[in-house]
Amino acid sequence: MRITLITGASSGLGREYTRLAAEQGDFDQIWVIARRDDRLRELASSLEADIRPVALDLTKPDNIEALKALLLQAAELDDDFCIGLLVNAAGFGKFGTCDDMTQAEVDAMIDLNCRALVDLTQLALPYMAKGSRIIQIASSAAFQPLQGLAVYAASKSFVLSYTRALRRELPHRGIYVTAVCPTWVKTEFIKVARDTKNGTTVQHPWPQISAERVARWSMFVNRCNYPVATCGVIAFLMRVFCKVIPAPVIMWIWEGLRRI
């Protein structure tokens, strides 16, 4: 059995990747992981594919162990068990400066955006074979430090760096790895990001692109075995400019943009 493993599947990008995987029909089963079981079951009932809802909070290490046990059990029941695609789409951000953020908010961002992503990757790799693929959701925020979004941007820089290095460790296994770095995506992200002590630290997040566009383009880029999918002109320009313009200059520009 060849499966897809998608985190953050209850909404946003994770949901779109699930729909796309179901549409393409390349897998025997799609495992969808998120905290909200009701949303996972609603998603499963809306798609014509074999969807397995797995309700887990990935910020809790015990739930990582629970998923590890489920994968082991599936592999023991099927000698041909293989993870053909891993999409690490679970993640969130919070607007606010260091004075605005609580320790719980900071820790949760790091746990989900960084630790859980690495843990899921480590769990999946033993079950992956030649032709398997990994998509890690980073952000255009990964290209430079961003005050007012400092921890989120730093966590996505971690994802980008980790994904690039992982890609260089896996050529001998024939596994394709891509970091996805779009600008703002039309999902629940901004609503969640504003739910903090100072939700107006970033006044008007723009430009915004659709989750479907990000999912479709990044799946194509991943199939081409390219390391980074920016999914839009603005994100691509940010990637280029941040290679040649000093970080203090970029941060000075951002200081103005986030107040508009």
Q: Which of 171, 119, 117 has the alpha carbon at shortest distance from 139?
A: 117
Whether the bond into 53 is cis, omega within 30 of 0: no
pLDDT reading at 1 higher than 90: yes
Contacts 24+ apart (CB under 8 A), 197-200: 197/96, 197/100, 197/101, 197/102, 198/95, 198/96, 198/97, 198/100, 199/95, 199/96, 200/95
Over range 30-54, report the average pLDDT: 97
Q: Tell me the average pLDDT of the chain.
A: 96
Please state the pTM of the whole predicted model: 0.96
Amino acid in position 37: D
Kindly state the percentage of the chain with pLDDT values over 90. 97
Q: On the CB side of 73, how many CA atoms lie within 13 Å of its CA?
A: 6
The predicted pLDDT at position 248 comes to 95
The predicted pLDDT at position 206 comes to 87
The predicted pLDDT at position 69 comes to 98
Q: Which of 134, 176, 127 has the alpha carbon at shortest distance from 159?
A: 134
d(CA 134, CA 119): 13
Tens-place pLDDT, residues 158-217: 999 999 999 999 999 999 999 999 999 999 999 999 999 999 999 999 889 999 999 999
Domains of the chain from N-terminus onward: 2-257 (3.40.50.720)
Tens-place pLDDT, residues 183-192: 999 999 999 9
pLDDT reading at 240 higher than 90: yes
pLDDT reading at 260 higher than 90: no
Q: Are 177 and 124 in contact (CB under 8 A)?
A: no
Tokens of 197: 């002590």
| pLDDT class of 71 with cuts at 50, 70, 90 | very high
Return the DSSP state at 113.
I
